[in-house]
Copies of this chain bind each other. A is one copy, B any other.
Amino acid sequence: MAEKPYHHGALELALSSAALEVVRTSGIADLSLRDLAREVGVSPSATYRHFPSRDHLVARVSQLARESLAGALLGARDAVPATGALKRRSVVQFREIGRAYVTFAVEHPTVFDAAFTPCHIRLERDDDPSAWLVLVEAIDHMVVTGAVPAVRRKDAPIIAWSGVHGLAQILTASVWPSGIDATGEIDAVLDGISRAIS
């Protein structure tokens, strides 16, 4: 039960966890290496053994945020009951994914923001199980079940993605025309997307 072992043992993980927590409660802009180091009980320079710069830490957290989003989408998709016609089900799944996307943004705006924060750093382990893939799969599935005509296959992903991502962004931005209520708009946009890719 060593009070303070010289080596932390899992600093990188501890740092990124603490960072993600800061993002959750405050926002990615408030990330501070020194703060995190304090939080974890380590000297400021120790962080540089695991992240070459603050930007790398930010990039890593951003990636974590994207994974979190992707997880939410998968959860929503897999939550729709496996009953009824396949065609109908593929449509419902797609819709729930879209709803989950926007809902995630509204419920965790700081995390959502972090997920798409512009960062100049390119990470190596970049196997994003990205939200993009979840969406594309769902659309492909709809094409297979005949819910979406094959002609739309090429353009449907970017159309759906744009609509959902744009709405999420608009609802979480502070800048907007006052009095937009989320829940109403979500269905409006999801309906619009359905028409657009039918």
Chain A residues near B (Cβ < 8 Å) = 27, 29, 62, 66, 113, 115-116, 118-120, 130, 132, 154-155, 158-159, 161-170, 173-177, 180, 185, 188-189, 191-193, 195-198
- Docked complex Cα distance between A90 and B192 (Å): 20
Bound-state CA distance A46–B169 (Å) is: 36
CA distance A169 to B198 in the complex (A): 24
Nearest opposing residue in chain B for A133, CB measure: B177
The binding surface of chain A is classed by DSSP as helix
- Which of B66, B115, B155, B167 is the one whose CB lies under 8 Å from A192? B155
Do B169 and A165 touch across chains, with their CB atoms under 8 A apart?
A: yes
CA separation between A174 and B170, bound complex, in Å?
19
In the complex with contacts A158-B188, A195-B196, A132-B176 CB distance below 8 A: yes
